[in-house]
Every structure is written in structure tokens, then in C-alpha cells.
Structure 1
């Protein structure tokens, strides 16, 4: 379909009138409908509660501001779009001197309700770096009563923010946002990618994305009359819309939620923003297998996903390893693990299905029966990094990069720059496999050391290295490894330090040097030690 074909989709905002959208952007700017502007209006406590989808404090704060000449217009808009309240026309009209209420209607942003006005969509401010945007999506369960519509277009959620923070922001020619939703990842990608292709199985989602691109054309550096020069919108499932194409970067927050499938179930009965339509975790497994096929040489894919962990599995990642082709580089970080019951409760609440007791009970039982049919003991959630090997690297690589680790504590955000640095260190280690002993290392700037010992003890019983940034790992150290780190100031090479420690400790056996060298490599891979000058 052509880009313009998504400018008028039933039930979605219209984007065929760039001039009217420019007027709307000007009105919102003048209103200070920004993250900081709304936060200041609500106050710290109400703003924090709003971030948790708790609207009562914001209701009280905006109600008090409606009659304030300086704050009333913004308060009416916040109540309208962010809280989902009905507002009177005379309260809303002053906020839109250029667009007008008729213009909001033409754009599909409001509905009439017995003489009052109600928002047809959620339209909220969103900022990253120095970029300030407004993002339209469907109203959430906390803003509008009832179960969500099955073709619900999700807005700015925790998963989309996590993916944005996870993505490595290197300059590339072509990027793909697979399952774009309302377009959040596209906005970020445009800052470092010459061209972005966005796909979705939902026409409504692509219509929301197009609306958001035109509304924010100025902030994103786009020509609203020539959007196709920077962005391509494609309708279709998974990789079908881009078959045969190659990309330098792929990002995807796919519909990874594991949902029980029912006999004769139709696609329109599924929640398109989260249900992939396949049994179990097959959609995530499919992407593990197929994403490398659309990557250029050296190209990277980053995604979020759920995976099932069967009872009796040797490790949580045993099945994930089976999904990967031998030459695909992979790094998976599991951030959370839930029991089948916890998982069912989470996603039934997500779609507000817990508001209907009979539906909740039936769906809950279906979840448990579905997991039991595959002997699923737990469900993992995490971040995935995949890479197609660079051209000509086959003969220089001993093996593909493979890392599977569980990190459930808070990490620094955005984590993308730290992942990029970790990959660079891994490539550096591979390139220096033969001459590692001649390399010079130093302690990373964010690393500190902790020593613990019982009162009166001559030596510490526990020595820990801790990272203050990035993945914030902790490493339990042996005496000899702690000695190596203490001596790592870039002056001596790896073999010289190991030789000095062997002599000092009287450890002349060959295994000592080999084992300590391997431990040092691990510290480099994890970022505790870095090559001198990096």
C-alpha cells in the first residue's frame, strides 16, 4: 500500500491535512502541552501517580485549575486527552484558536457526548533528549471503561520505553521497526537512520503512526509532503512485507504475549498489539530463526520477548539456543521470570479482562490449562540482541558470540550505549585471541572494590568488584584475580602481570596462568577491565 493509504482508516485519526496538523502542533506548543508543562500543572505527587495509571490525584489537581485564567486551558486539555473525562465545549475551545473544535473533529480526535466532548484517542506529550513530541494512541483501560478493543493500538508503555532504551544508536542507512504500533521506535530511529521501514499487521496502527509522523514533522525533521523519503509504512505479518530486503538494524517489540489459542479462533478475536496468533512462544522462536535473514552483513536485531521454560529444563535458555543458527551472534538477558499463574494474572489485568468476573475465571483457567499442556514451569521475559556476522568474518571467527545471563535487579538506562561497548569488547577479545597476553588493560572508571572480613581476621574473606554503571554487575574475586586488577593500570601487559603474580604467590604450574588469563578475559567481557585508552 502507498504511504497515503493510511491517512484515512476507520477508527483512527486522519492525517491527510498537513496544514491542519501544523495548526494543531502550534496550538499545543503555545499551550505548553509538554512533559514538563503537564508535570508542573499536576504537581509532583499527582504526576507520579499518573505515571502509575492512577488518575484520581490528577483529577483533583486539574479540577482546581479549570477556573484559573493562566492554567485553565491546559487543565481542560489534560482532563480531555490524558484523563479521558468529558469536557464542555467552552472549556476546550480556547485551547485551540487555530485548529478549532471542528478541526479536532475532522482529525478524528474528539467525540460528542450529550452536548459535551470526549476524547476519541489518547494524545500525550513525549520527550527524549531535546526532542519534544505528541503521541496519539488508543485510550487505555484506566481512561475508558470496559475491555479493550481487539485492535487496540498501544501507546507509550513500559515495554516500548525499554526497547527504546535498549537499542544501540549507531548511524545506519536502513532500519526496520517490525510491529510499529503507534510509531514510538520510528521516532527514535529517525535520529540515526537515513531511512526507516515500519510494518504492522494492523491498518489502524499504521494510521496512528502516520498521524504521529505528520503531527511531529517539524520536530522530527520531516517534510510532511514527502514522508516516503525517510519513512516507509508496510501492512503485513512479521517479515512478509519486507521479504528479500536487508536492513542494518531491526528493532521489534513483537506481540510476544503467550495466550491460549482456542479452536476455530479468528484473528479479530485476538488483541493484535500483544497476541501473535501462534501457540506458546512460537512467535518469538520464529523471530529468533528468521530475523537474521533480513539483516545486512554485520546487521543487528534487537527485540523484547517471552519464552517458556519447561519443567526439568537444564537451563532457562536451553530452548532459545536451539532456535539460533550456528553463525548468528546472540546475547539474551532475562529480566524477569513468572510462574504460569502470575503470568496469567498479569496479562488478564493488562486488557482489563479482570473487570468481567466470568470472563476472568474462564480465561484464567484457559491460561493454566494451556501452560500445563506443554509442561511449562515458568515464563521468562527479557532483551535480545542478534547479529548477522560481518562479510568475510567466517574464517576469522572461532565461534559465534553467545551470551545468556539473568539480570533481575535495576540497571542503568538507557542501556543501549553499554550494550554497544560490551559488543565492541567482545569483538576486541575475538580479534586478540592469539595475542591477548601482550595487551594492556586498565580498570574501568565506574568500578569499585569491596573487601569484607571478620573482625580480627588477617585477610578478607570476600572481595567484590562492582560496576556503578551499565549492567551494574558484581564479581566475586579470588586473591590472585584481585591482585591482577590492582596491578591493571595500563603499564604492564597481561602476561607480565600474571608472571609477577605467579612468582609472588609461588604458583608456577601452567594451569595457574591459563586459568587466571581466562578469568581476566571474563572481566574484560563484562566491562570491569578495558583495553588501555578505551
Structure 2
């Protein structure tokens, strides 16, 4: 029997039989982690399978591969996750309900060259922090097959998709949109808190994988297999074109943002569609970014991952601010910057193009020439959050462009929500009259020379979320240390400024002559301290009582 090019269910009974076998085999995320170890599982996400292969080989040799045993689970991991070859009898014993013939009919396995069977798709369990557990199929990865990935490769659950899922601010909504659905992982997370999800992709293969995965997980996703459109609609087309004229409460996208040199006469079949949108430079990201305002309902939010070019001599955020539609709030966090050479090498490795040294060298030169043609100094990567304000509700985020290169918490979504909520709560709030306390995860660090009683630097450090740091002035340090919830922020700021000013006057021989002139400066210092406290409240380092 020849396997189809895509996984496909012909009936609901096919779904149920396969699900029953996967459950009986204990093919869950936790069970796989227990089998291979946490370090090996982390390495797998980075496409480094050696440690997992060693652990699975040990389990396979320990006993018969019957359903429910470690050896049976190892057989599934060996085939579907690691790309190994097994005899038909071993896989049939691990999945007796569907059997090898049934797996071939579903498009999940195929005959291996030289005998035995191998995976036709990558099929692996996924577990999220919110309790969602799924099985997700995608095209086989680089460690499954020799050579370069197929051009219409459908990407599985990788680090980028996990990052976006962890960053997304979750709230109950009526409608959601997933732009560039891929294997469907963002859509499946959206279905947990959206009444209906629309998912788009230019790739017919991607939509087919998403449909297969949605049906395979219909119970977890509360989907009726006989009426999937009631909760999930799949539309083929580029970016936002399939949903023109519609608006959504939440939009997420992990678009094909990789900046790739264009060649004369290229077609869609010449591109890695999972990562390359086919436009010069970062125009695909710009096009999507500029268009998101049209599909956001009032109060609606959009989140995506993106790359952007940084022209020589320009600030990285300048173009991104220009891309943001008028009237939308924007919070953009730049997480990394790569040189053109490093960027080219990274993406040549991603698609295994470096397995052909001659072609890789030629392609590397094309990358550098392409970046040079636009005077690109670096390529930024980061997180994007946009919101269309809703009439009658406070919106305090505005436009924020910041660089955070340090390690941050994951999942980050709940922390982003706290900052957004705090910014909204600050609208119209008289911070000077409010009482604040230092958040429990915040600490101070002092730096100075040994035996010197006066520190040269005091750093305020956030222990979670974006893990922000602030180098404090003497006044700022005094204000933060006094925020215990008993005295309003404005009164604390005035007291701190007065104390520091008195110390300065005592040390100044001309203090009497300067006292009147200093009064105006003192008022400004108090205002600045109150504004600094508001910043700390927004960022979660101070909490309004």
C-alpha cells in the first residue's frame, strides 16, 4: 500500500481508532519526557536527537513492544518523533487497533527503503501550561531524512511556535484569527478561549495538516467532527486576504518572516513556504503589520513574532513605528539582533541547505548581497503586540518600543497581561495620592568598592516576567525603599527630595543664595520621582495598594 502525501481521515471511526491506540500506548508528553529525560526532550526541540535516540534504543531493547509498555511507547517515539525504521510487527504490536496497514492508509507511515516502515509524518504529543494536551502531526524534520527539506514543508512545533503560544495574552473572546496556521498549534490554543477561530494559510498542505490535527484532537478542542466549521474555519490565501472585510477580537501570527534573497524568475515552488513569504526584505512583515488594523475589532489585540531589517545608522524602532496603523497601540520588544552574515548562516542551517556546501556557499553570498543592496546593518527579532482602542474604555499602553536581550519568564503571556492591565489602570489615576508597595519578586543590589560606606550604584531588579532592571539615583532608591503602603507616593517623593536637598545645602557654602532658585527645581524633582513610581507600577515592580 502506498501512503498518501498528506495525513487524512476518511471517517470519524478512523479518528477514534487512532486516538484509542495513542492513549493505550501512553503516547503523552509527560510519558515521552519520562522515557527520554528532560534534557533530551529540550534538545529535541532544537533538532538535536542524539540523547533521545540513545534512551529510546535502551527501552526498545528491554522488552516486547506491546501496547502500554515502555517498549511499545519507545517504538512510537522511535518512528514518529525520531524518524527511525522498525519492522511492521513491532509497530503493529504497539498500535494494534489501527495496525501498520491502517497507519499507511491514514498517511502516517510508509515503506522504508531496504525494508520495514518509517514515519511519513512527524507525530508527537504536546502539553501546554494551561493543561491542554494534544497530538500534533507535521512534515518530518531534518533529522528524519537526508538532504534539504521539501519546499512546501509544513513545520511542526518548534521554538518559535512555543514562544508565540507562551507569549499570547489569553482572554475569553467570541472570534479569533490565526494568520499562517502551519500545523495548527496556535489555532488549538486559541480554541481554548475563543468561541470560533478562523485560520488562514497560503499552503494547501498546511491547511490539510491543521484539519487532520483538529480532528485527531476533537475531544480536547470541543470540536464536533461532523461540523468542524461551527468552531474552526480554514481558509486558503495570503496573509489577511481571505478575511478581508472581517474583524476579530484576537489575532495571532507566526508568519513566514524570514528575510530571503529573491532570484529572477523564482516561483512559489522555489521557496520554503513555511518561512519565506516571497517578498523582498521584510516587506511581508510590513504588509501584515500595516494590515492588522483592518481586521481588529474595537478592543481587539494582535500578537506575532517578526524579523525586521535595521538600516545602517537608523534606530531599530523607527520603521516599526511607521508601520503601525494610526490609532493603534503598539508594544514591541526586540529580543535579538543578528548581523547579516550570522542571519544567513542560521537560516541556511534551518532548512539543511548547508548539507550541500557548494549551493550553501552560493546562497550565503546571495544573502549578503541582498542585505547590502538595502544598506542593512542588522536584523532584529522580537515580539509584537497591537491593540485597537475601544471607545469608553481606558487604554494606557500607547506606543512602547524596548529592547530586552536578557532571559525572560515563560510563559510570558500572563506577565504581559499584568503590564497591560497596569498601564490601563494608570489612566486617570493620581499616582501621587496612591499608596504603593514593592512587589515581592523585586530586590536591590548595591555595588561599590570594599570598605566604602557609600555605594557607587544601586540596581533595582525584577525577579520574574521581563526581569527588568533599573540603575537608581539616590532619590529613586530612597523612594523605593520607603514604599511600604503607609504614605502616599507624592508625600514620599517630597520627603526624599527634601532630605537629599537638605544634605546638599549643608555641604554648599552658597546655599542661602541658591535656596530660592532651587525651589522650582525641587518641585520638578518631586514630579520626576512620581513619574518614575508610575513607570515602576506599570512594569510591575511597584504595586498600588
TM-score bin (small chain): over 0.9
| Contact 2:461–2:467 (CA under 8 A) maintained in structure 1 | yes
Aligned to 1:146: 147
Moved >6 Å (runs of 4+): none
SS of the aligned residue for 1:187 comes to: helix
| Contact 1:172–1:192 (CA under 8 A) maintained in structure 2 | yes
Matched positions, count = 518
Aligned to 1:522: 535
What does the per-residue CA deviation read over 1:450-501, in whole Å, with 9 as the maximum and x for residues that have no partner? 2223233232221111111100011111111111112212222222212222
What does the per-residue CA deviation read over 1:9-59, in whole Å, with 9 as the maximum and x for residues that have no partner? 962100332211111111111111112222222345544543432333333
Superposed displacement of residue 200, structure 1 = 0.6
| Contact 1:179–1:200 (CA under 8 A) maintained in structure 2 | yes
| Contact 1:441–1:490 (CA under 8 A) maintained in structure 2 | yes
| Contact 1:15–1:210 (CA under 8 A) maintained in structure 2 | no
Which one of 403, 417, 420 corresponds to residue 423 of structure 1?
420
* Equivalent residues in 2 for 1:237-386, closer than 5 Å: 237-313=238-314, 315-386=315-386
| Contact 1:18–1:215 (CA under 8 A) maintained in structure 2 | no
Q: Distance in 1 between matches of 2:214 and 2:444?
A: 48
Q: Say if 1:10 and 1:318 are closer, same or farther in 2 by CA, change over 3 A.
A: farther
Q: Distance in 2 between matches of 1:271 and 1:115?
A: 30
What does the per-residue CA deviation read over 1:431-464, in whole Å, with 9 as the maximum and x for residues that have no partner? 32xx332222221121111222323323222111
TM-score (norm 1): 0.93
Q: Say if 1:310 and 1:463 are closer, same or farther in 2 by CA, change over 3 A.
A: same
- Which structure 1 segments of 5+ residues have no match? 1-8
Aligned to 1:208: 209
Bigger mean CA deviation after superposition, 77-86 or 365-374: 77-86
| Contact 2:47–2:142 (CA under 8 A) maintained in structure 1 | no
Q: Distance in 1 between matches of 2:179 and 2:543?
A: 35
Aligned to 1:20: 14
| Contact 2:91–2:99 (CA under 8 A) maintained in structure 1 | no
Alignment RMSD: 1.8
Q: Say if 1:178 and 1:10 are closer, same or farther in 2 by CA, change over 3 A.
A: farther
Aligned to 2:451: 456
Which one of 28, 48, 54 corresponds to residue 48 of structure 2?
54
What does the per-residue CA deviation read over 1:205-256, in whole Å, with 9 as the maximum and x for residues that have no partner? 0110011111111222222122111111111111011111111100000000
Bigger mean CA deviation after superposition, 519-528 or 24-33: 519-528
SS of the aligned residue for 2:485 comes to: strand
Aligned to 2:511: none
| Contact 2:45–2:158 (CA under 8 A) maintained in structure 1 | no
Aligned to 1:232: 233
Q: Distance in 2 between matches of 1:111 and 1:524?
A: 57
| Contact 2:46–2:159 (CA under 8 A) maintained in structure 1 | no
SS of the aligned residue for 1:445 comes to: coil
Q: Distance in 1 between matches of 2:169 and 2:267?
A: 37
Bigger mean CA deviation after superposition, 154-163 or 26-35: 26-35
Which one of 383, 399, 403 corresponds to residue 406 of structure 1?
403
Aligned to 1:107: 106
- Which structure 2 segments of 5+ residues have no match? 503-518
* Equivalent residues in 2 for 1:211-222, closer than 5 Å: 211-222=212-223
What does the per-residue CA deviation read over 1:382-415, in whole Å, with 9 as the maximum and x for residues that have no partner? 000001111256xx87x97111111111101100
